[in-house]
Amino acid sequence: MLDDNERYMQAALGEAQRAYDEGEVPVGCIIVHDGLIIGKAHNQRETLQDPTAHAEVLAITQAANHLGSWRLEGARLYVTLEPCPMCAGAIILARLEAVYFGATDPKAGCCGTLMNLLGDSRFNHMPELHAGLLADECGAILTSFFREIRQRRGN
């Protein structure tokens, strides 16, 4: 039986699948506050032709709109891939309570892989960080997506 954190990450994986189905890099994110999902999104950089349209940024905007405040204190973010520098910065600025991520990102991960922005005490806010939640499942969808792209290109 899945615990709450696993269930929330499963919801983020559902968002990642939506991204996959739309031809976007399959990253999904949800934000939970008081047991309710108040933000959910998936990558939409290609769809929107917007370099900032990462799942985390879009979900943070939804959550802020839901709460009527940019301060997301008490909220937890679940994302299938380790946040990049932009998303880690947005997480800090939004004052999220905690971040749970699945797969690590060796090329852009800023929550422990390349660096840990969320753990830098020089910032005014440091959310709790929980790495590796359903990491295998989160990594598998990314692996499948990029394998499919390479096959289409004949590589």
Q: Which of 15, 24, 56, 82 is catalytic?
A: 56
The token pair at 41 is 């999104």
d(CA 22, CA 27): 12
Instruction: Give yes or no for a contact between 43 and 55, defined as CB atoms under 8 angstroms apart.
Output: yes
Burial 122-147 (b: 16+ CB within 10 A, else e): eeeeebebebebbbebbbebbeebee
Q: For residue 73, indicate whether it is catalytic.
A: no
Which active-site residues does the annotation give?
A: 56
